[in-house]
Amino acid sequence: MARELQQAVPPTWPAVAEVVVVTHSGAGLYVPAVVDRCPAPVAGCILVDAALPPRQGWTPAAPPELLDQLRAMAVDGRLPVWTDWWAPADVDPLFPDPVTRREVEAEQPRLPLAHYGQELPVRAGWDDRPCAYVAFGGTYAAEAADAARRGWRVVTLPGGHLHQLVDPAAVAAELLRPVRSTGWATS
């Protein structure tokens, strides 16, 4: 999957001086690969309610307890869509309304189980730039605490894991805050 992610980065981008990489959830583990592959200089990284890669080395795509849970769900090596991994009572409150949930579900891929069984390389230096962490509640509290120990800007917005669907304006404002206040991007 890391290869597919890297191949998804277009070989040519519009002329930009710098970019800020923003990821959500499990995509946080791929920030080092995106930083390495990005054709424009990366001014900073913002992880939003996301898994946090180590500073270097290797990291599992899923923690062992989640991988065990996923193995039990897989059919012919493929997983159900993400919203089907959890009980409806846990997932329903993440969406602002049933229409938004249906729209998101229509776009969800059924990933191969093998994606979550892999170890991802993390090159030292990926976070040698300004980084920030935005948490939505306490689900990723350990990751937010780790980001704070690394000296990152950390903020928590009260909400569920898909808070960007519930209050997009507040999330967008929080994503822009470090970029505007610290001059991450020069263009």
81 phi/psi in degrees, rounded to 5 = -60, 155
Boundaries of domain holding 134: 1-9+16-58+121-182
Nearest to 120, CA basis, from 25, 31, 7: 31
Q: Is pLDDT larger for residue 11 or for residue 127? A: 127
Domain match, 129 and 172 both = yes
Q: Do 66 and 158 fall into the same domain?
A: no
**What is the per-residue pLDDT across 136-161, written as a single tens digit (0 to 9) for each?**
999 999 999 999 999 999 999 999 99
Indicate if the pLDDT at residue 2 is higher than 50: no
pTM higher than 0.85: yes
Alpha-helical regions (H) of 46-97 = 64-73, 88-91
Same domain, residue pair 51 and 132: yes
Whether residue 187 is contained in a domain is answered as no
Q: What is the mean pLDDT of residues 18-29?
A: 94
Q: What is the rounded average pLDDT of the residues 56-79?
A: 96
What per-residue confidence (pLDDT) applies to 110?
95
Per the structure, the count of domains in the chain is: 2
> Side chain identity at 42, as an amino acid letter?
V
Taking residues 8-30, report their average pLDDT. Answer: 80
**Residue 13: predicted pLDDT:** 54
Please give the DSSP secondary-structure letter assigned to residue 75. Answer: B
Assess whether 23 and 41 both reside in one domain: yes
Spatial distance between the Cα atoms of 98 and 83, rounded to a whole number of angstroms: 13
Average pLDDT of the chain?
90
Taking a C-beta distance cutoff of 8 angstroms, is the pair 116, 61 a contact? yes
- DSSP 3-state percent helix, strand, coil across the chain (nearest 5): 45, 20, 35
Answer yes or no: is 170 within a domain.
yes
Paired sense of beta strands 119-122 and 57-60, if any: antiparallel
How wide is the angle at C-alpha 177 spanned by C-alphas 46 and 170, nearest 5°?
90
Residue 7 pLDDT > 70: no
Residues 127 and 42 in one domain: yes
Domain finish residue from 102, 117, 132: 117
DSSP state of 79: P
* Burial label, 129 (beta-carbon count in 10 A; 0-12, 13-18, 19+): middle
Q: For the residues 73-87, what does the mean pLDDT come to?
A: 96
User: Does the pLDDT value for residue 3 go beyond 60?
Assistant: no
Q: Would you state the pLDDT for residue 166?
A: 96
Residue length of the chain: 187
Q: Is the pLDDT of residue 165 over 70?
A: yes
Domain final position from 75, 101, 117: 117
Assigned domain for 108 exists: yes
Domain boundary among 80, 95, 117: 117
